Amino acid sequence: MEIKREPLSDFRVRQLQARDMLRGDLEPEELERYAEEAVMTTTVDRAVAWARGNSFFPLTFGLACCAIEMISLVGMRTDIARFGWEAFRATPRQADLIILSGRVSIKMAPVIRRIYDQMLEPKWAISMGACCSSMGVFNNYSLVPADKFMPIDVHVPGCPPRPEALIHGILRLRDMVQGHAPDGWRERYDAVGTEEVLPEADTETAAINVYQPGDTAGA
């Protein structure tokens, strides 16, 4: 009868290495090699950043034609669930990302800014499409770029950007989060909110883009 010897699978080899290690039978060099292969060390900050970058809760929010491309992200073709970003939330208080997908009119800007202010830190924003970033193809006095009234972390160019382009922007944002960008937008951009710049007495006459606390106009 012929006896055929098969090589042990990787899994079995690792199992035996683990047993030897527990018994204290591994030589120092083997133990070192085993530790390099089997043990991963990290810090709490890195683990939190890794989890945060892979579990965004975007706000259910669309502005114009770009929104249709954004909505298709959750479909099976692009399937944003691969990156853990598919849980769109219906309230800003549960969302940590707003994707501005479409044209922003001057009338809409304070509403968007209020929604952004209602999101809890750390929060992030993507400007999707030419309109939102630069007013796009429109030579129109009623539109405003998003950077004029709120901090934007990633701009996705195009008219409209394809869902793949938005995914590229999303992955850039993930790199930013996992690269330990400061959590608060004020530290991130060395900026202050408009409401912190304008003295209380000037709000009657000055052009403001953020409503004062308690003012429900435009809500």
Contacting positions for ligand SF4 (CB under 6 A):
64-66, 102-103, 129-131, 136, 159-160
Task: Give the nearer residue to ligand SF4 in terms of CB position, either 140 or 212.
Answer: 140
Half-sphere exposure of 187 (CA within 13 A, CB side): 8
To ligand SF4, the closest distance from the beta carbon of 17 in angstroms equals 56
B/e letters for 153-183, b = 16+ CB within 10 Å, e = fewer, are: bbbbebebbebebbbebbeebbebbbeebee
Helix axes 10-23, 28-38, angle to 10 degrees: 130
CA dist 70 and 75 (Å) reads 10
Q: How far is the CB of 80 from ligand SF4 (least distance, A)?
A: 18
Contact 58, 98 (CB under 8 A): yes
Which CB atom, from 138 or from 189, has the smaller least distance to ligand SF4? 138
Q: At what angle do helices 163-178 and 44-53 cross, to 10 degrees?
A: 170
**Smallest distance from the beta carbon of 63 to ligand SF4, in angstroms?**
7
- We find the least distance from the C-beta atom of residue 131 to ligand SF4, in angstroms, to be 3
**49 or 166, CB closer to ligand SF4?**
166
Q: For residues 59 and 100, which CB has a smaller minimum distance to ligand SF4 in the complex?
A: 100
Nearer to ligand SF4, 94 or 140 (CB): 140
Complex with ligand SF4: residue 166 or 210, whichever CB lies closer: 166
Inter-residue contact 127 to 154 (CB < 8 Å): yes
Q: Least Å distance between CB 104 and ligand SF4?
A: 9
Report the distance separating Cα 201 and Cα 194, nearest Å.
Answer: 14
Shortest distance, CB of residue 113 to ligand SF4, whole angstroms? 19
